[in-house]
Amino acid sequence: MGPSVAFTASVRNASGSYTNANTTAAASITLTLGGSAAHGEVWSVTISEAGVPGFHSAAVLGMLAPARTPRAIIDTLNAESHKVMKQPATVETMRRVAVDIELSTPEEFGRLIDSELQRWSKVIRALKLKPL
């Protein structure tokens, strides 16, 4: 077996304590976090800056429900989760862990899932990746 490099992809705040304590070296950050999520940490070059122009990857959190869930239930879940995510305590907690909240409609979230499936399916096919 040849040389290897330990690699991790993580949310910036989760890896920050390690890089700030000089126990690991940050090779790149793939997610551009700006605005309220940027706490002034110094990070190394992004993957895009390192020679892969246009590279973008983001962690997305959302809720899914079983197929054929009644629309009224979907709308209620969406409205109630938006209320929670807009609360000042929630916003502050998320800001502290370097997460900017972006709320969407169920349709917008569905389109995001579809576009990500298409995008990453192309990468998987091009690299001929197989499940472990």
Cα 21 → chain centroid? 24
Q: 108: closest CA among 69, 82, 70?
A: 82
Pair (51, 75) in one structural domain: no
Please compute the mean of the pLDDT values over residues 65-91 and round it to a whole number. 92
Pair (47, 65) in one structural domain: no
Pair (71, 131) in one structural domain: yes
Report pLDDT for 45: 65
Pair (53, 71) in one structural domain: no
Euclidean distance between CA atoms 64 and 67, whole angstroms: 9
CB atoms near residue 113 (< 10 Å):
13
Domain range enclosing 80: 61-132
- State pLDDT tens for residues 84-125: 999 999 999 988 888 888 899 999 999 999 998 998 899 899
3-class DSSP state for residue 11? Answer: coil
Report pLDDT for 73: 93
29: exposed, middle or buried (C-beta count within 10 Å: 0-12, 13-18, 19+)? buried
Domains: count for the chain = 2
Query: In this model, does residue 52 exceed pLDDT 60?
Result: yes
Domain end point (choices 11, 27, 58): 58
Pair (97, 54) in one structural domain: no
18 touches 34 (CB < 8 A): no
Task: Compute the mean pLDDT over every residue in the chain, rounded to the nearest whole number.
Answer: 73
Q: 10: closest CA among 111, 107, 26, 132?
A: 26
Predicted TM-score (pTM) of this structure: 0.60
Query: In this model, does residue 126 exceed pLDDT 80?
Result: yes
**Residue 34, token pair as written in the block:** 């700006």
- State pLDDT tens for residues 7-25: 444 444 444 444 444 444 4
Pair (85, 132) in one structural domain: yes
